[in-house]
Structure 1
């Protein structure tokens, strides 16, 4: 299980990746971060033509029921994989 310190470090590391992760990776990070920090999705679904925010909402809403600790751990794991594949800025 990831600690709050691990989670905070991962949140900082993700800002310093050498390259931008794929859209799917970004959606996964977003949904895990929101689930870890807010909990279950608590906003209305965006409109049909708001593609970006609708995708983000759906990614987060699919995490419904996941505990904050599980989301934090999965977020840290995902960031660590991205650091390995993308590297960090010096």
Structure 2
């Protein structure tokens, strides 16, 4: 757990060094896995129809319900590594 936590912390720093903005799908992936890793399962009510961004974020996070924090961290780290290769 300590190793993946350290890699997760580093990935959070590394993602800020990207020179190109990732696609919306990649951004939602990163958001959802970050939230799942740090807060657990989604909480609260789903945003309304007019809040399209909030709704997309909520839905992406809700799909990860039941995913363990370590698994979400690993997928986040792997995605950042892939983005660093293609977005530098």
Gaps of 5+ in 2: none
Deviation for aligned residue 1:15: 1.0
Runs of 4+ residues over 4 Å off in structure 1: none
How many Å separate the matches in 1 of 2:47 and 2:68? Answer: 24
Gaps of 5+ in 1: none
Aligned position for 2:10 = 9
Deviation for aligned residue 1:66: 0.4
- Secondary structure, aligned partner of 1:36: helix
Deviation for aligned residue 1:44: 1.2
Instruction: State how 1:54-73 maps to structure 2 within 5 Å.
Output: 54-73=55-74
| Root mean square deviation of aligned Cα | 1.1
